[in-house]
Amino acid sequence: MNQETFSRYDTADYLKTEEDIAAYLEAVMEEGGDDPVFVARALGVVARARNLSQLARDVGMSRQGLDKALSGEGNPSFATVAKVAKALGLRITFQPTHPVP
Protein backbone atom coordinates (compact mmCIF):
# COMPACT_ATOMS: atom_id res chain seq x y z
CA MET A 1 0.00 0.00 0.00
CA ASN A 2 1.44 3.38 -1.02
CA GLN A 3 1.30 6.13 1.50
CA GLU A 4 0.94 9.62 0.12
CA THR A 5 2.60 12.52 1.85
CA PHE A 6 1.64 16.11 1.50
CA SER A 7 3.62 19.21 2.23
CA ARG A 8 2.08 21.99 4.29
CA TYR A 9 0.39 24.63 2.13
CA ASP A 10 1.89 28.10 2.53
CA THR A 11 0.48 31.01 0.56
CA ALA A 12 3.90 32.69 0.74
CA ASP A 13 5.23 30.04 -1.66
CA TYR A 14 2.90 31.38 -4.36
CA LEU A 15 3.60 35.10 -4.01
CA LYS A 16 6.35 35.34 -6.62
CA THR A 17 5.69 38.73 -8.23
CA GLU A 18 4.54 42.19 -7.19
CA GLU A 19 1.30 41.48 -9.07
CA ASP A 20 0.78 38.28 -7.04
CA ILE A 21 1.28 40.20 -3.81
CA ALA A 22 -1.03 43.04 -4.85
CA ALA A 23 -3.78 40.60 -5.90
CA TYR A 24 -3.41 38.66 -2.63
CA LEU A 25 -3.61 41.77 -0.46
CA GLU A 26 -6.56 43.10 -2.46
CA ALA A 27 -8.40 39.81 -1.85
CA VAL A 28 -7.50 39.97 1.85
CA MET A 29 -8.92 43.47 2.14
CA GLU A 30 -12.11 42.43 0.33
CA GLU A 31 -12.54 39.39 2.57
CA GLY A 32 -11.59 40.77 5.97
CA GLY A 33 -10.22 44.28 5.72
CA ASP A 34 -12.07 45.28 8.87
CA ASP A 35 -10.24 42.61 10.91
CA PRO A 36 -6.80 43.90 11.94
CA VAL A 37 -5.57 40.42 12.92
CA PHE A 38 -6.51 39.07 9.47
CA VAL A 39 -4.70 41.96 7.76
CA ALA A 40 -1.61 41.63 10.00
CA ARG A 41 -1.46 37.89 9.28
CA ALA A 42 -1.65 38.62 5.53
CA LEU A 43 1.26 41.06 5.85
CA GLY A 44 3.12 38.28 7.64
CA VAL A 45 2.52 36.00 4.65
CA VAL A 46 3.90 38.66 2.32
CA ALA A 47 6.86 39.19 4.67
CA ARG A 48 7.64 35.44 4.52
CA ALA A 49 7.38 35.55 0.73
CA ARG A 50 10.06 38.21 0.79
CA ASN A 51 12.94 38.21 3.28
CA LEU A 52 11.55 38.39 6.81
CA SER A 53 14.98 38.98 8.39
CA GLN A 54 15.76 41.92 6.11
CA LEU A 55 12.26 43.31 6.58
CA ALA A 56 12.70 43.16 10.36
CA ARG A 57 15.94 45.16 10.04
CA ASP A 58 14.21 47.69 7.78
CA VAL A 59 11.37 48.11 10.28
CA GLY A 60 13.69 48.23 13.30
CA MET A 61 12.40 45.10 15.02
CA SER A 62 13.80 41.68 15.78
CA ARG A 63 12.88 38.92 13.35
CA GLN A 64 11.09 37.06 16.14
CA GLY A 65 9.22 40.19 17.24
CA LEU A 66 8.08 40.96 13.71
CA ASP A 67 7.12 37.34 13.07
CA LYS A 68 5.01 37.29 16.25
CA ALA A 69 3.41 40.67 15.49
CA LEU A 70 2.36 39.48 12.03
CA SER A 71 1.44 35.92 12.96
CA GLY A 72 -2.11 36.64 14.02
CA GLU A 73 -1.13 35.98 17.63
CA GLY A 74 0.32 39.42 18.21
CA ASN A 75 -1.45 42.75 18.30
CA PRO A 76 0.66 45.09 16.18
CA SER A 77 0.04 48.80 16.38
CA PHE A 78 -1.03 50.69 13.29
CA ALA A 79 2.42 52.27 13.31
CA THR A 80 4.00 48.80 13.00
CA VAL A 81 1.62 47.82 10.20
CA ALA A 82 2.37 51.09 8.39
CA LYS A 83 6.15 50.58 8.77
CA VAL A 84 5.88 47.02 7.45
CA ALA A 85 3.77 48.12 4.51
CA LYS A 86 6.25 50.88 3.65
CA ALA A 87 9.23 48.51 3.97
CA LEU A 88 7.43 46.09 1.62
CA GLY A 89 6.99 48.91 -0.89
CA LEU A 90 3.25 49.14 -0.24
CA ARG A 91 1.04 52.13 0.44
CA ILE A 92 -1.99 52.01 2.70
CA THR A 93 -4.93 53.78 1.09
CA PHE A 94 -8.53 54.41 2.05
CA GLN A 95 -11.51 54.32 -0.26
CA PRO A 96 -15.18 54.94 0.46
CA THR A 97 -17.21 51.76 0.76
CA HIS A 98 -20.28 53.48 -0.67
CA PRO A 99 -20.96 56.70 -2.55
CA VAL A 100 -20.93 59.78 -0.36
CA PRO A 101 -24.03 61.96 -0.94
At residue 100 the predicted structure's pLDDT band, cuts being 50, 70 and 90, is: low
- Number of domains forming the structure of the chain: 1
Q: Is residue 101 domain-resident?
A: no
**Half-sphere exposure of 88 toward its Cβ, with a 13 Å CA cutoff?**
26
Instruction: Assign residue 74 the CATH number of its domain.
Output: 1.10.260
Q: Does 96 reside within a domain? A: no
Domain containing 71: what range?
A: 34-87
User: What is the C-alpha separation between 85 and 101, in angstroms, rounded?
Assistant: 32
- pLDDT over 80 (residue 98): no
Within a domain: 17: no
Read off the pTM: 0.76
Do 56 and 50 form a contact (C-beta atoms < 8 A)? Answer: no
